Homo-oligomer: A and B are copies of this chain.
């Protein structure tokens, strides 16, 4: 099977025309036409074997994750997914792998209304590069630069669990079967917080998705907004306990669990800031989406992050964010 057959068989589908997509796969370019008054939000992520996923990963899960990490960037901007391109390098054509990969990819794409409009395939070490496109009304995108002094800081969902799964894979911790299964799902099939991002467009002042670690990614908001943050360990402990409390789990190592939550990475949750006046709206949103939205601190004038311990005393932070050339 050659390059063109491969595309035909696994990546070209007869899907109904999608609003905003004028031309999909099959020409030199795809053509998008955002409606007047809409901006096109664009993000690109590259996944490499051994760095972003293990060679043993289920190809269907990998197809899901490759798109999910990109949709997570749209979510962080409050953009509605429209389309994506896929560039794929593979050592050889493995039809079983391709069938699984494309199944996982399209399951998520269909669920999010996101059409594959083009890309590239080539021989080479396994590498998946997806670029996603979303719509957001002019001037309404959630940016990293929008946080104001006195905003609350929130994180969605279950940060730390993806990293716990990785540590279990690495053998540095052992997890009971049920807990491992759930955390492995968080690591291998992260759910991009698209619905949350769309809802936050009119509520939050800034947002970022957690790919490299909660504190590290929050740092991007602080830097671009020119504010500092106090993060309350009481709230982090709540998240840590929530992550940890599954049937059969062993003794609770608070310090280790705090580190998982604050510096874990690979979570694809959203960290966002919002004025205290929005607390009721955020609580209602949490209920509506069945998704924890945990207030973990607030912004203040200055720079950097201060951890506030359970006695209300400042601590020096000790966690570095994940760096793809160091981690």
**Interface on A for B, CB 8 Å cutoff?**
1-4, 6, 22-23, 26-34, 36, 38-46, 48-52, 73-74, 76-77, 79, 85-89, 92-93, 117-125, 127, 129, 131, 133-134, 136, 138, 141, 143-145, 207-209, 224, 323-326
Q: Is the CB of B32 within 8 A of A39?
A: yes
List, in ascending order, chain B residues with CB within 8 A of A33's CB. 34, 38-40, 138
Q: Is the CB of B32 within 8 A of A85?
A: no
Those 5 A-B pairs whose CB atoms lie nearest each other, nearest first: A48-B124, A129-B129, A28-B76, A29-B41, A46-B87
Q: Is the CB of B324 within 8 A of A123?
A: yes
Among B26, B123, B136, B144, contact of A31 (Cβ-Cβ < 8 Å): B136
Among B3, B38, B49, B85, contact of A42 (Cβ-Cβ < 8 Å): B85
Alpha-carbon distance between A27 and B44 when the two chains are bound, in angstroms: 12
Alpha-carbon distance between A3 and B88 when the two chains are bound, in angstroms: 23
Among B3, B48, B73, contact of A89 (Cβ-Cβ < 8 Å): B48
Asked if A131 meets B134 with Cβ closer than 8 Å, knowing A2-B325, A39-B22, A118-B44, the reply is: no
Which residue on B lies nearest to A4, using beta carbons? B323
Task: Apart from A32-B39, A121-B324, list 14 A-B contacts with CB within 8 A.
Answer: A2-B323, A3-B324, A27-B77, A27-B144, A27-B224, A28-B73, A30-B42, A33-B138, A36-B36, A44-B119, A44-B129, A48-B123, A87-B131, A124-B127
Q: Is the CB of B46 within 8 A of A89?
A: yes
Q: How far is the CB of A53 from chain B (nearest CB, A)?
A: 11
Alpha-carbon distance between A29 and B41 when the two chains are bound, in angstroms: 6
Q: Is the CB of B42 within 8 A of A29?
A: yes
Q: How far is the CB of A270 from chain B (nearest CB, A)?
A: 10
List, in ascending order, chain B residues with CB within 8 A of A131's CB. 42, 44, 85, 87, 131
Alpha-carbon distance between A136 and B33 when the two chains are bound, in angstroms: 10
List, in ascending order, chain B residues with CB within 8 A of A125's CB. 48, 124-125, 127
